[in-house]
Amino acid sequence: MIMNPNFNQRFFLIVLLASLTRIWSCSSETQTSASAIPPAKVANGVKESELTTVTLSPEAEQRLGIETAAVEKRQLARRLRLGGEIVAIPGRRIFVTAPVAGVIVAPNGRLPQAGMRVRKGQAIFSLLPLPAERDLLGSPDEVVLKKMQFDVAQAKAQRAAQLLHDNAGSVKTKEEADTELLAAAAAFKAAEARLHLANSTVADSATLATATMALASPFDGVLQKINIAPRQTVAAGAELFEVVGQNTVWVRVPVYVGDLATIDEQQPAQIEAFGDASGVSQRIAKPVQGPPLSDANAASADLFFEMENSDGQFRVGEKVRVTLAQKNIAENLIVPFSAILYDIHGGTWVYTRMSPHTYTRQRVELHHVVDTLAVLARGPDSGTEVVITGAAEIFGTEFGGGK
């Protein structure tokens, strides 16, 4: 049987079209099934605008002591928080120098310690002056010389006294001999004191009596540095110790030059110690005219404020937190800071009163805190009642835990 060639061609085309149709159908079904599966699935989603509403009974509300206050819109001067440094007032940080060459002596045998508080006029060290033509290495020879001069003066005084007793001398001669003896005795005693000081670690009261020069603190303050030790020989003009006055200090605040024009430099600054969340260490510092210092690398200029520090709470060199008042005044939403709640992610919330005994949680954006007030960048409308006492208790009621 002979097949028609046209029939074979038509049969082949029909089979080919059927195969292509099946392949396209399978591909389409696969794409449809893949597109039907979403990339993520959220179960029990709750919109932030539909958060849980907490309703308290009147007895529960009274027991928890719930208090509310209205959100206010108030004009407040903006504040800028920066870091500062406690510095000594110019002229209240000085080195005491040796007026003449001499030997250092610790008064009463007690060594002063760096960091101790000192009073004005308090003797820190004593200085036993050395003769300009000698140093401490010549003390033994000087003692021998002064001893010989003392012996000669003593013998001369004895002869003058004997001659006067025998009516062979005059009263004037005896007085001159006695005066020469006193001078020689004083010189001999001073030389012995220098030698004793060179050979001992602690000077006695007799030696200290010859140290006629006291090195005292020029004002009340703290002994910052000590560059000497007892029995040390120092030259004239040598720096001995440093005293820093801390009863009143300055606060140096580097301010970015871009913010400098916004700072009200006539307003006082608030100074706080780092880590003091309770604000116990807060002080008010008044602006002062300080040296015009700036840092080109940091693009900053320095502002200075003066602060009372008679209790010594702040130390020179300590870093502090400084709050500066700015010139621009803007209207902000204000609520008491006690109304702010923090969640585990650091988000801030308040509870608003929707109706009597009914409250709902609403997210707010905290801009900054001024004293006991929280300034909001975003929050409830002005006039909305928010919970200021008992917010943590409502938070615990909603989630079954504490604040």
Domain boundaries defined on the chain = 50-76+330-399, 80-89+245-329, 93-244
Give the C-alpha separation, 151 to 170, whole Å: 22
When computed from its CA atoms, the radius of gyration of the chain, rounded to whole angstroms, is 45
C-beta of residue 316 within 8 angstroms of C-beta of residue 89? no
User: For position 255, what pLDDT does the model report?
Assistant: 93
User: For position 200, what pLDDT does the model report?
Assistant: 56
Domains 50-76+330-399 and 80-89+245-329 share a fold: no
Give the C-alpha separation, 225 to 236, whole Å: 19
Tokens found for residue 60: 């529960």
Cα-to-chain-centroid distance, residue 309:
13
Give the C-alpha separation, 377 to 124, whole Å: 57
Q: The pTM is what?
A: 0.56
Beta bridge mates, 54: 359
Residue 357's SS3 state is coil
Give the C-alpha separation, 339 to 350, whole Å: 6
| Residue-wise DSSP of 213-224 | EEEE-SSSEEEE
Q: Which fold has domain 50-76+330-399?
A: 2.40.420
Q: Using one digit for the tens of pLDDT, what is the confidence trace for 107-150?
A: 776 788 888 888 888 888 888 877 655 555 556 777 888 888 88
C-beta of residue 75 within 8 angstroms of C-beta of residue 226? no
Q: Which residues of the chain have pLDDT under 70?
A: 1-13, 15-17, 20, 22-51, 109, 131-139, 194, 196-212, 277-279, 401-403
Expressed in percent and rounded to 5, the helix, strand and coil fractions of the chain are 30, 35, 35
For 80-89+245-329, give the CATH class. Answer: mainly beta
Q: Which fold has domain 93-244?
A: OB fold (Dihydrolipoamide Acetyltransferase, E2P) (2.40.50)
